[in-house]
Copies of this chain bind each other. A is one copy, B any other.
Amino acid sequence: MPFNRRWRRPTFSEIKVTDSFWSTRQQTLVRVTLPTQFSQLESTGRLENFRRVIDGEHGKFSGFWFNDSDVYKWLEAVAYGLAIEDSPELRSKADIAIDLIARTQRPDGYLNTYIQYEKPDMAWKNLSMMHEMYCGGHLLEAAAAWHDALGDNRLLNVAVKFADHVMSIFGPDRRLGYCGHEEFEYGLIRLARATGDTKYREFARWQVDTRGSRPSPFEPELTDEVALSMHRGQVGQCLRDGAYNGEYLQDHAPVREHTSVVGHAVRAMYLYMAATDLADGEKDEAMESALRRCWDSLTKRRMYVTAGIGPSGDNEGFTNDFDLPNGTAYAETCAAIGLIFWGQLLLEQTGESDFADIVERSLYNGTLSGISISGDHYFYDNPLESRGQHERTPWFPCACCPPNIARLLGTIGQLAVGIGDDTIAIHLPIGMTVQTPLATIEVSGNYPWESEVTIAVTPRTLEPFGLAIRIPDWADELGLELEVADEPADYQDGYAVYHRVWSPGDVIKVDFGTEPKWIEANPAILDDLGRVALSYGPMIYCAESTDNGFLPQRAAVLTEQEVAIAYDASLLGGVTTITVPAIVDQDAFPDGLYADLGTITLQERDLKFIPYYAWNNRGKSSMQVWLRRA
A553 CB contact (under 8 Å) in B303, B529, B533, B559: B529
A526 contact set on B, CB distance < 8 A: 387, 551, 553-554
Given contacts A530-B530, A556-B530, contact A593 B525 (CB under 8 A): yes
- Report A181-207 CB contacts with B as 1/0, cut-off 8 Å: 000000000000000000000000000
In the complex, A209 Cα to B518 Cα: how many Å? 59
A596 at the interface (CB under 8 A from B): yes
Asked whether A589 lies within 8 Å of B523 as measured between CB atoms, the reply is yes
- Report A572-612 CB contacts with B as 1/0, cut-off 8 Å: 00000000000001010101111111111000000000000
A305 at the interface (CB under 8 A from B): yes
In the complex, A517 Cα to B551 Cα: how many Å? 28
A148 at the interface (CB under 8 A from B): no
Given contacts A520-B600, A600-B520, contact A593 B300 (CB under 8 A): yes
Residues of A in contact with B, size category: 35 or more
In the complex, A585 Cα to B593 Cα: how many Å? 30
Asked whether A599 lies within 8 Å of B520 as measured between CB atoms, the reply is yes
A533 contact set on B, CB distance < 8 A: 594
A386 CB, nearest partner CB in chain B, Å:
11
**Which residues in window 524-561 of A have CB below 8 A to B?**
524-526, 529-530, 532-533, 551, 553-554, 556, 559
Could you say which of A305, A518, A529 has the most chain B C-beta atoms within 10 Å of its C-beta? A529
A484 at the interface (CB under 8 A from B): no
A582 CB, nearest partner CB in chain B, Å:
12
Identify the closest chain B residue to A303 (Cβ): B593
In the complex, A593 Cα to B533 Cα: how many Å? 12
A554 CB contact (under 8 Å) in B523, B591, B629: B523
A520 contact set on B, CB distance < 8 A: 594-600
In the complex, A596 Cα to B596 Cα: how many Å? 35
A301 at the interface (CB under 8 A from B): yes
A299 contact set on B, CB distance < 8 A: 592-593
- Report A272-314 CB contacts with B as 1/0, cut-off 8 Å: 0000000000000000000000000001110101000000000
A628 at the interface (CB under 8 A from B): yes
A63 CB, nearest partner CB in chain B, Å:
20
Determine how many copies of this chain the complex contains.
Answer: 2
Given contacts A524-B589, A589-B523, A589-B524, contact A628 B596 (CB under 8 A): no
Given contacts A529-B628, A530-B556, A628-B530, contact A523 B600 (CB under 8 A): yes
A532 CB contact (under 8 Å) in B551, B592, B597: B597
Given contacts A530-B628, A628-B530, contact A593 B551 (CB under 8 A): no
Asked whether A519 lies within 8 Å of B554 as measured between CB atoms, the reply is no
Given contacts A529-B553, A530-B628, A628-B529, contact A522 B593 (CB under 8 A): yes
A594 CB contact (under 8 Å) in B522, B595, B596: B522
A593 CB contact (under 8 Å) in B521, B556, B598: B521
- Report A480-518 CB contacts with B as 1/0, cut-off 8 Å: 000000000000000000000000000000000000011
A342 CB, nearest partner CB in chain B, Å:
17
Asked whether A594 lies within 8 Å of B305 as measured between CB atoms, the reply is yes
Asked whether A596 lies within 8 Å of B387 as measured between CB atoms, the reply is no
Asked whether A593 lies within 8 Å of B387 as measured between CB atoms, the reply is no
A598 contact set on B, CB distance < 8 A: 520
Identify the closest chain B residue to A591 (Cβ): B300
Asked whether A300 lies within 8 Å of B592 as measured between CB atoms, the reply is yes
- Report A604-630 CB contacts with B as 1/0, cut-off 8 Å: 000000000000000000000000110
In the complex, A594 Cα to B522 Cα: how many Å? 6
In the complex, A322 Cα to B599 Cα: how many Å? 17
Could you say which of A524, A525, A526, A553 has the most chain B C-beta atoms within 10 Å of its C-beta? A526
A101 CB, nearest partner CB in chain B, Å:
36
A523 contact set on B, CB distance < 8 A: 554, 585, 587, 589, 600
In the complex, A530 Cα to B595 Cα: how many Å? 14
Identify the closest chain B residue to A559 (Cβ): B597
In the complex, A530 Cα to B518 Cα: how many Å? 19
A169 CB, nearest partner CB in chain B, Å:
38
Asked whether B522 lies within 8 Å of A597 as measured between CB atoms, the reply is no
**Which residues in window 92-138 of A have CB below 8 A to B?**
none
A525 contact set on B, CB distance < 8 A: 593
A/B interface sample: 12 pairs, CB < 8 A = A299-B593, A300-B593, A303-B593, A305-B594, A519-B595, A520-B595, A522-B593, A523-B585, A529-B553, A529-B554, A530-B556, A597-B629
Q: What 3 A-B pairs have minimum CB-CB distances, sorted nearest first?
A: A518-B597, A523-B585, A526-B553
Interface residues of A (CB under 8 A from B): 299-301, 303, 305, 322, 387, 517-526, 529-530, 532-533, 551, 553-554, 556, 559, 585, 587, 589, 591-600, 628-629
Extra A-B contacts (14), CB below 8 Å, given A300-B591, A530-B530: A300-B592, A305-B593, A517-B596, A518-B597, A519-B594, A519-B597, A521-B594, A522-B589, A523-B600, A524-B589, A525-B593, A526-B554, A529-B628, A530-B556
